[in-house]
Structure 1
């Protein structure tokens, strides 16, 4: 199997070189871009499988770069690297096309675990074609979601999360189960990313957001 191509977008030379070196050691093919413009050019040139995107870039706003990268390489997994800890800023990045995020400083072991998890999830083929719960309809093979006749544009992890909940509609799905199924059975790191994705998913569901109920201290339930 060919090595996964990784576009590293980081303006700090020390962090950038460390990431490139670590990725190469773990069998990836990394390319470094220090600016937003270089990232966009690199995406067109290399068609990366994964993108590690620092939001604090010197020339173009990181969220804008994320949005343009999503358009340029729609199948790539985009993981945002940010020193920003405010939840709303992370949600904006997710809405712009990011699949996941890591807050600096982070451990390389955690980053590598997440990248492996994302690559594994890309290869999973569902056994069933479609799933319908009330107004919600999921095309599991095409990975498209509909509320009535209106398509809801979801990022990969948002789709996986919605499918995991709707697939057991009426049941409580624990936080641990969701992290195992949507992220990875050996997930490395905190589960706050789950809450951020649920928040973003509810925003996209609009008036149907109440279908996802929080069961405090346990997990979530998709109401029938």
Structure 2
């Protein structure tokens, strides 16, 4: 719009709130306020429809496909095992469950030597990250994760571990408090401190460490 009279008229309409000024392709233009509001509303409605939450069944279906548990998305061979491990990195299940259910559900015609292959090569590591305690090998929760992520998972496990029991001066202060409680008739002993969770990881042949873990007793 180059006519001075038209420009003055549009400026007056703008001051009255009838039109709004905008720029399209670098050029100044004017738009009816109500029409612009309608365009804005339609645009928001379209964008909201694009990000509407899915149903629980749709989400579970997506997870099954993404984790290769769906029959049409299952993987094959040692490379498939490595890909599944990358998806489930940091997830702990009993050692026996990895070869009994987790990997066979995601890798077509799964063979035990495939997991041995990727662990022996050092591509995949395994370990106990989220807890500690004695348990039979078959029931010990174990994580599998790519070797290049080992430092990251160990750091996360260290952050999640409980604080160690006090030592030195802190232990002496705690003992003094317990003696005071004892003199006042409070319980003489404090609850046993939980055993701190220590992260541990290893590489090498899976079957050599968890031999028979995936077999039925």
TM-score range, shorter chain: under 0.3
TM-score, normalised with respect to structure 2: 0.22
Larger-Rg structure: 2
TM-score (norm 1): 0.21
Return the structure number with greater relative CO, CA threshold 8 A, min gap 6: 2
Higher share in strand = 1
